[in-house]
């Protein structure tokens, strides 16, 4: 209680609830298995035999009498008129899915992390403790780390496949996004106000006295270069991670629109959700976002609609709203994916010749078994963007517009203290130097620029990959 106070108690309580309630109450399991999603069941072997006009030999003696000792592989015509039955997706069915436990744990952890963040925001808003470490920052950082781990796990599936087509696509997009990440960092702040230039300037200003006192002033240009190269590599990695989620999103978006032809409101939400990355890119384009709202041409004279602080708060609210919107249309996308089983069977019927019965069953089952991977591909970018937004608000010194901004972290404040006293031993002096270096590097302006770059870049990667996916599925997939 003396170190973190109420926040430590809430953290321990949240961890206990997450562990105890997972078998009984899970948002991730409810999202898939509440009965609104249905899957297609593959036709049984008896049904396929009946359509092919073949009967299963009852025993070994009957097989010998028919002239063969071993049962041959059952082949049926591709245009056989079998029907696919549907059944609601249940928790028992989901337990056999690949990565289901990882999916459930990750999504539930993100939900509990959001709950801790909401409590912390209310706690700081009501009481306003000045010297307590904001523990919600660590929850958001853990969620971001787990998001990257999920991306890595899913992307490894494509690198471990027998065919190297997926691997080549990932590497190609990684190289393209590496070039784009370097170009984005060269865009001036007057056009794209990510805050990277003010962030690097604050790092230089804080580290320069410390490095000069140690005779390491030559390291400063290398630090700036390392930051630029690190952001470019991070952008390339994120681009590779988001390639196949974007391609999958384009496919499920098209199918979801087709399935909701008689529901115009749902189609509007689907279109808005698909274009949400474009709105995020617009929020950081200064001439058409901040400048337009700051000096809006109304009646021939420029009128200031929003102040700078109000625009920053509005941008945070829009980011959260867009993430929640994409979360709200999760089920239409997942149902559109499950309906791929029927689409593949219809494509099979347009082909000539025969096919093995087990291959028909495999094509139907493969769609269902891949459901949790598709769910992770859809939800992980949303969770990553939302937690980067929450960190941008807290570590960047922004406000929700409902009250004053939260005080800076005590770690950053301690890094700005004066030099170490001569009476302290060498270990304390070394710790003080390291803390000072970290405090000079992790300034609020630098964190603001880095997190804004992550949010903007994640949206850019999603937009480019999903637009390419639309073009691919509309013009190239059928050719």
Cα→Cα distances 95→185, 269, 371, 372, Å = 44, 31, 12, 10
Is the predicted pLDDT of residue 411 greater than 50, yes or no?
Answer: no
Structural domain includes residue 412: no
Residue 273 lies in a domain: yes
Is pLDDT at 1 greater than 50 in this prediction? no
pLDDT digits (tens, 9 = 90+) for 246-287: 999 999 999 999 998 889 999 999 999 999 999 999 999 988
Asked if pLDDT for residue 383 goes beyond 80, the answer is: yes
Number of independent structural domains in the chain: 1
List residues bridging with 297 in a β-sheet: 302
- Which of 41-55, 252-266, 394-408, 430-444 is predicted most confidently? 252-266
* Mean local confidence (pLDDT), 61-76: 58
Specify the DSSP class assigned to residue 192. B
**Structure confidence at residue 2 as a pLDDT band (50, 70, 90):** very low
Q: Count CB atoms within 10 A of the CB of residue 105.
A: 15
pLDDT at 343 over 70: yes
Q: What is the model's pTM?
A: 0.87
The answer, yes or no, to whether residue 63 has pLDDT greater than 60, is: no
Q: Mapped to the 3 state alphabet, what secondary structure does 349-384 carry? A: HCCCCEEEHHHHHHHHHHHHHCHHHHHHHHHHHHHH
- Report whether pLDDT(423) > 90: no
**171, part of any domain:** yes
* Burial of residue 64, with CB atoms counted within 10 A of its CB: 0-12 exposed, 13-18 middle, 19 or more buried: exposed
pLDDT in tens, 7-24: 888 888 988 888 888 888
Q: For residues 197 and 255, is the Cβ–Cβ distance under 8 A? A: no
Task: Count the residues in the chain.
Answer: 479
Residues 57-72, mean pLDDT to the nearest whole number: 54
Mean pLDDT for 237-242 is 95
The answer to whether position 18 is within a domain reads no
Q: What is the pLDDT of residues 137-171, one digit of tens each?
A: 999 999 999 999 999 999 988 887 666 778 888 99
Domain holding 199, by residue range, is 162-378+434-477
Question: In the prediction, which pLDDT does 65 show?
Answer: 53
Give the model confidence (pLDDT) of 87-103 as tens digits. 888 888 888 888 899 99
Q: Return d(Cα 16, Cα 51) in angstroms, integer.
A: 55
């Amino acid at each position: 209680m003396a170190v973190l106070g109420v926040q430590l108690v809430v953290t321990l309580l949240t961890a206990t609830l997450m562990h105890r309630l997972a078998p009984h109450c899970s948002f991730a399991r409810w999202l898939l298995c509440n009965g609104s999603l249905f899957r297609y069941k593959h036709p049984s072997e008896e049904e396929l035999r009946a359509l092919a006009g073949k009967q299963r030999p009852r025993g070994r003696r009957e097989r010998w009498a028919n002239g063969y000792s071993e049962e041959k592989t059952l082949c049926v015509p591709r245009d056989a008129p079998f029907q696919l039955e549907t059944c609601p997706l249940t928790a028992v069915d989901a337990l056999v899915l690949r990565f289901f436990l990882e999916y459930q744990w990750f999504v539930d952890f993100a939900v509990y992390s959001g709950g801790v963040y909401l409590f912390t925001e209310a706690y700081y808003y009501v009481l306003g403790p000045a010297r307590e470490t904001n523990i919600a920052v660590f929850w958001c950082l853990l969620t971001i780390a787990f998001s990257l781990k999920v991306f890595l796990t899913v992307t490894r599936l494509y690198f471990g496949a027998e065919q190297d087509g997926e691997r080549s696509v990932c590497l190609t997009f990684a190289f393209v996004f590496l070039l784009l990440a370097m170009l984005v960092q060269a865009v001036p702040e007057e056009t794209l106000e990510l805050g990277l230039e003010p962030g690097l300037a604050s790092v230089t200003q804080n580290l320069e006295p410390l490095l000069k006192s140690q005779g390491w002033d030559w390291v400063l240009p290398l630090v700036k270069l390392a930051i630029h190269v690190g952001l470019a590599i991070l952008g390339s990695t994120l681009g590779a991670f988001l390639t196949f989620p974007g391609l999958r999103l384009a496919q499920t978006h098209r199918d979801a629109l087709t399935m909701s032809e008689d529901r115009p409101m749902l189609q509007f939400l689907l279109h808005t959700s698909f274009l949400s990355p474009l709105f995020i890119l617009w929020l950081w384009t200064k001439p058409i976002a901040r400048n337009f709202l700051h000096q809006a041409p109304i009646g021939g004279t420029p009128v200031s609609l929003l102040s700078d602080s109000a625009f920053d708060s509005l941008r945070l609210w829009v980011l959260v709203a867009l993430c929640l919107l994409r979360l709200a249309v999760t089920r239409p996308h997942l149902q559109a994916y499950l309906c791929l089983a029927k689409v593949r069977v219809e494509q099979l019927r347009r082909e000539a010749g025969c096919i093995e019965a087990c291959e028909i069953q495999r094509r139907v089952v493969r769609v269902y078994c891949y459901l949790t991977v598709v769910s992770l591909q859809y939800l992980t970018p949303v969770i990553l963007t939302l937690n980067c937004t929450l960190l941008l608000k807290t570590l960047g010194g922004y406000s929700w517009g409902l009250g004053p901004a939260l005080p800076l972290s005590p770690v950053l404040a301690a890094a700005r203290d004066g030099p170490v006293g001569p009476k302290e031993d060498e270990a304390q002096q070394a710790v003080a130097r390291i803390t000072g270096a970290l405090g000079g590097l992790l300034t609020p302006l630098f964190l603001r620029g880095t997190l804004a770059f992550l949010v903007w870049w994640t949206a850019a990667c999603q937009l480019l990959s999903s637009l390419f996916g639309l073009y691919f599925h509309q013009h190239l997939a059928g050719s």
